Structure 1
């Protein structure tokens, strides 16, 4: 869509306008989707609303509406003391329960922040819909501090004629404070570093799975991928984070072209998207070179569109010069989804328990395992899949030549499904440490921790702690 407004339009906004037009958003009327049910009791909501309440006290006399949205653009909460702007926002349905995703409301601050996973400022006539020209919207995405998943956004909306120089900075600070508060109240896991857009070679001799005979679940997925790649199909390999999607894609290409050079392009941070694509795109279509583009469902919308155009311009070949990976095939951006011919799903490690021991032995190198340690590894559900197993084993291998239960991370012995607070995680870890010592028993653990046996049993049940061979 080419605007007739005489307004300077950055590239991100122009791309957003074009998407809004493709979605069929009316340019003269806001028609957001409404839902009467949404999750407003999550840790994200709890922490986000606490941050916004503190910010609202600071801005109580300013005509600024503070909002928290989920990842689909649904407004979860709204704080504002200015009745005039509240009544105005109600008229355009920028209120709890309504979705302001690009697909529903066209180009706007929170919709663009969610689409591109980047802080966004949209003011006056930069909005796609003329019904929003009276506002300035600044929004910043909130990412899960442990997994990097998109949780939602913090959005600040004011009148378009108001000063907006600090609005985006305030939104970014609120989003960062929300993630930090979630981290403080969460499990205490280290914050996941932001992706850096790395590109690196992947060789078959660096992939432990290539030298192992793994379960039928893995072999069936590998065979399916090999056949699809061999027929020249464009393949997307899907599965949970850490399950081995890139490894499987690389192995499938190695089967078809044993001497092929394989490049893996990891998803970039939003600000690095242009440089990321420019870095490796020239390798597409070169003889004996294949590219695995990882995590395409997590790409900013603008980067996904640029990627789709770059991949569509590559001449057809057998095998296709690239493979995509994604956690959720249903979340593939439109342009990329249209290129895909075959979807291959890699089952999670909890559905492949027979793979735990051979993978663990491979990750441990020359280290050995006790029978109890192997039983503990096989009994765990591995929510982080192969990536988590590799980290746990490598940490244990750094502690001992023979890996026993006491060398394994406490998380391996806990089946608790709820998110632990930092204090709960410390308490669980201490109980596990005492129960995994040689000759340990509940009575000895109670003495060491200064608790009664009844309390220890209650804590074991609360954290669902299971230690193979533990004496009663």
Structure 2
């Protein structure tokens, strides 16, 4: 590949003239022309693109153009915020920003009015077709052909009529299928040419992908809510949920081999045409012949049509039963037992499905959830799906390392980099995680001054050890975890917006235990069996009242707190029957005796989870102070805003 990144218009034009005047490609590669441009020229010639063409083609049928823009309504909506943010900076810059669909047809354009007018002369406008098959080498069509961001400047264009323009384009990927669904392009006269224009369109494309992912997640959540509230959500094992546009957004009860044979059932695949106007009787006619249905139900939420549930015949059985744990194999060369994710609630199934897709998509993932929900199990799930049994898994707790050392911990250091550095230097976590997963726990606690280096490492897929100038390539899958609201941290100035966009291309929300319904009782029996086997004791028997109290408790410490409660039973019980008397006080909420307000009582017989101890202390103080929150804050030694925040976190009401 040519290493010459500089551009000379005279050399490029001379190379272009020689190329278009010859009838054969030849083996010689002009040093003035980049490889990707020369390859595109060859494709253009093979396709029979007219070199002397004055302009591209345009869709003249207004109805056809309207339907095309409607078909890409989700893409246009996702791009609207980024375009609106950039528009004020383009009006005086002789520049226009363009959104094209997956066929290279322009569906939106903003920017300098004069340049927009000039663009009409070559059909660089809404409706213009800039597929490489039509107009040859250009910043839209060539990106679609290669799938890579690129710039095409002046004489690098294949068609002479557009060589008075420069453009830079980047592909936009569907967050579900990872297929290219469009291109964002920056165009204008040659004077605006900068190679780093590619970085701008690449950042814009990623911002659009983030917006698309959030949009899809909202649609998916609404569709799931409509399904849960329907009459048949539990009546069928195997079901596919399809949104209004005909896309598969959720599936349940399908074995892996069934999915392998029936690619149409993949999440994100357009299984059906737009559902508006189709009757329940018509919809099955559009399904592939390989799919046999038991019925179809229209799904509405708050009076709005959200999609349909397609119930499949019994041939596609549940991959995991409602009480069966999702098993994660132990890591190679690590002394550990098999891990499990227990739960069949819709939110949990949704989170597991997202984690599986994230592993296949090879993108950075942000796992968000309260303390104790089991975020690391989801990181382990992603790791377990990677090809190759020896892929490393390297966890780092950003909150447990001092701000002075976290840079050396992540990126490593060379001999003599700082006082106390090990002789010979040391590899950092990035290098140790090469070809595997780097799991950053509590990423919201990463020092703000270190975040640009993390961002650079992710963008460049390379690191520099502390005190070293040598570039070290790394191939790392990043999984970041946090219990903080990073958007709030961005507004506070504690977290970089660009880093947030980079690490959260796919976000997995792990639901708190209180929102998982019957999963609580599934976990009770799971942990009971685990500790019975571990201690050699017979399994505990729980009274109906105990199960009712456990199911109704808010679990501020989530799964970790529940696990501690179950462990406590096996440590202190002399028999195997658990009654109300054996439950920790925070579950019973028994505050009849004034002497039980002491910290010693709160700690005695407690599950040991700090969150539940704190929640219990707040509840007791509220009762003892008759709901006077000013006094409660004073007694606890915290400010009123902190008290309100903790009450909200632990779902504590004033009364």
Q: State the TM-score bracket (shorter-chain normalisation).
A: 0.3 to 0.5
Structure 1 length-normalised TM:
0.47
Higher relative contact order (CA 8 A, sep 6+): 1
Larger radius of gyration between Structure 1 and Structure 2? 2
